[in-house]
């Protein structure tokens, strides 16, 4: 009976470590397994020492009329740019359509 309670407590704390790691951008399953194998205390200490992973955000919507294509490298650059930031191509004074 004592073993069962200890095992259920260990499993519960490992679940908490996994959910805490998930809130910090880490893998739930991997950190639950780590804490099951070693210890929930070791798992939570390691998760606390690791820096949180920022969520990936979608890039801002770019208006196509605000950009032009570089004739040398075909990358999008701002319409007002005089030099391509990717390849260094110098644009003339006339705007590129």
Q: Tell me which residues of the chain have a pLDDT lower than 70.
A: 57-61, 93-97
* Predicted pLDDT of residue 63: 78
* Predicted pLDDT of residue 64: 77
Phi, psi of 10 (to 5 degrees): -60, -45
Q: Say if CB 37 and CB 11 are below 8 A apart.
A: no
Q: Say if CB 66 and CB 95 are below 8 A apart.
A: no
* Predicted pLDDT of residue 65: 82
* Predicted pLDDT of residue 41: 94
* Predicted pLDDT of residue 96: 47
Domain boundaries, the chain: 2-49, 62-92
């Amino acid at each position: 009976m004592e073993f069962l309670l200890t095992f259920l407590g260990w499993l519960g704390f490992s679940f908490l470590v996994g959910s805490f790691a998930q809130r910090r951008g880490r893998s739930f399953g991997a950190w639950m397994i780590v804490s099951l194998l070693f210890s929930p205390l070791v798992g939570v200490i390691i998760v606390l020492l690791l820096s949180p992973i920022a969520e990936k955000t979608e890039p801002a919507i770019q208006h196509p009329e605000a950009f032009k294509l570089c004739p040398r490298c075909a990358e999008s650059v701002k319409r007002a740019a005089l030099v391509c930031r990717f390849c260094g191509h110098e644009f003339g004074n006339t705007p590129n359509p």
